[in-house]
Amino acid sequence: MLAGTLFGASLTLATAWLTGRGLWRRAEWPLQFALGAAVLAHLVFALGWLGALHAGAFAGLAAALAAFSVWRAGWRAEAGAAWPRPSACWLLFLPLAAFLIVHATGPAVQPDEITYHLGLVREWLAGGRFPQRAGFYESMPQMAEMLFAYAAAFGGAPAAKLVHLGFLAALVALIARMAAGGRGMAAAALVAASPVVMTAAASAYNDVMLALYAVALYRSLERGENGRAGLLAGACYAVKMTGGVFALGALLWLLFRRERPWRFVAGALVFPAPWLVRNAWLAGNPFAPFLNAWFPNEHFHASTEAMLRHNLATYGVHGFDRLTHTLFGGGVLGGHVGVGFVLAPLALWGLWRTERRAARPLVLAAVMAALPWLANAGVRFLIPALPFVALALPAPVVWPAAVAQVAALAWTPPVGSWSLRGWRARPQPGEPEVIAMLNRHTRTGERVLDFITAPRLYIHSLPMTPWGYAPADRAAAALVKAHEAAPGLMYNLRADWHTERVRQLRLVVAEPGPAPLNVQELSFEGVERCRFTATRHVTETPLAFDRNPTTGWSTWAPARAGDGITVNCPEPFESTGLRAMIALAWTGMKLRVEGDGRVLNHDPGYTPEPPLNWRPAAISAVRREGFRWILIRDGGGGYGAVAADFLARPRDWGLQRTASAGNVYLWRVP
Residue 54 backbone phi and psi in degrees, to 5: -155, 165
> Looking at the structure, do residues 405 and 449 belong to the same domain, yes or no?
no
> Looking at the structure, do residues 591 and 636 belong to the same domain, yes or no?
no
Count how many Cα atoms sit within 13 Å of the Cα of residue 76 in the half-sphere of its side chain: 2
> Looking at the structure, do residues 656 and 599 belong to the same domain, yes or no?
no
Measured between alpha carbons, how far is residue 121 from residues 11, 146, 168 in Å? 17, 8, 21
Concatenated DSSP letters of 363-397:
HHHHHHHHHHHHH---GGGGGGGHHHHHHHS-HHH
Concatenated DSSP letters of 152-183:
HHHHHHHHHHHHHHHHHHHHHHHHHHTSSTTH
Q: Is residue 26 part of a domain?
A: yes
> Looking at the structure, do residues 519 and 554 belong to the same domain, yes or no?
yes
Q: What is the pLDDT of residues 272-318, one digit of tens each?
A: 999 999 999 999 999 999 999 889 898 999 888 888 888 888 888 88
Q: Is residue 304 part of a domain?
A: yes
Count how many Cα atoms sit within 13 Å of the Cα of residue 486 in the half-sphere of its side chain: 3
Q: Is residue 428 part of a domain?
A: no
> Looking at the structure, do residues 502 and 375 belong to the same domain, yes or no?
no
Distance (Å, rounded) from C-alpha 79 to C-alpha 580?
A: 76
Last residue of a domain, one of 410, 444, 470: 410
Query: Structural domain of residue 530, as residue ranges?
Result: 487-608
Number of domain units in the chain: 3
Q: Are 574 and 501 in contact (CB under 8 A)?
A: yes
- pLDDT score, position 77: 61
Last residue of a domain, one of 608, 635, 656: 608
Distance (Å, rounded) from C-alpha 87 to C-alpha 102?
A: 24
Cβ within 8 Å of residue 397, ≥6 positions away: 343, 346, 349
- pLDDT score, position 89: 64
Look at residue 300 and give its three-state secondary structure: coil
- pLDDT score, position 526: 62
> Looking at the structure, do residues 391 and 324 belong to the same domain, yes or no?
yes
Cβ within 8 Å of residue 115, ≥6 positions away: 137, 453, 454, 455, 456, 457
- pLDDT score, position 354: 44
> Looking at the structure, do residues 548 and 587 belong to the same domain, yes or no?
yes
- pLDDT score, position 43: 98
Residues of the chain with pLDDT under 50: 354
> Looking at the structure, do residues 197 and 300 belong to the same domain, yes or no?
yes
Q: Is residue 426 part of a domain?
A: no
**Structure pTM?**
0.92
Q: What is the pLDDT of residues 479-534, one digit of tens each?
A: 999 998 888 899 999 999 988 889 999 999 999 999 999 999 998 776 567 888 99
- pLDDT score, position 211: 98
Q: How distant is the alpha carbon of residue 200 from its chain centre?
A: 15
Q: What is the pLDDT of residues 12-58, one digit of tens each?
A: 999 999 999 999 988 899 999 999 999 999 999 999 999 999 999 99
> Looking at the structure, do residues 580 and 623 belong to the same domain, yes or no?
no
Q: Is residue 282 part of a domain?
A: yes
Last residue of a domain, one of 592, 608, 624: 608
Q: Is residue 462 part of a domain?
A: yes
Q: What share of the chain is helix, strand, coil (3-state, %, to 5)?
A: 55, 15, 35
> Looking at the structure, do residues 458 and 406 belong to the same domain, yes or no?
no
- pLDDT score, position 346: 81
Q: Are 664 and 448 in contact (CB under 8 A)?
A: no
**Strand bridging mode 598-601 / 591-595:** antiparallel
Q: Is residue 415 part of a domain?
A: no
- pLDDT score, position 592: 94
> Looking at the structure, do residues 627 and 575 belong to the same domain, yes or no?
no
Q: Is residue 11 part of a domain?
A: yes
> Looking at the structure, do residues 163 and 206 belong to the same domain, yes or no?
yes
Q: Are 510 and 589 in contact (CB under 8 A)?
A: no
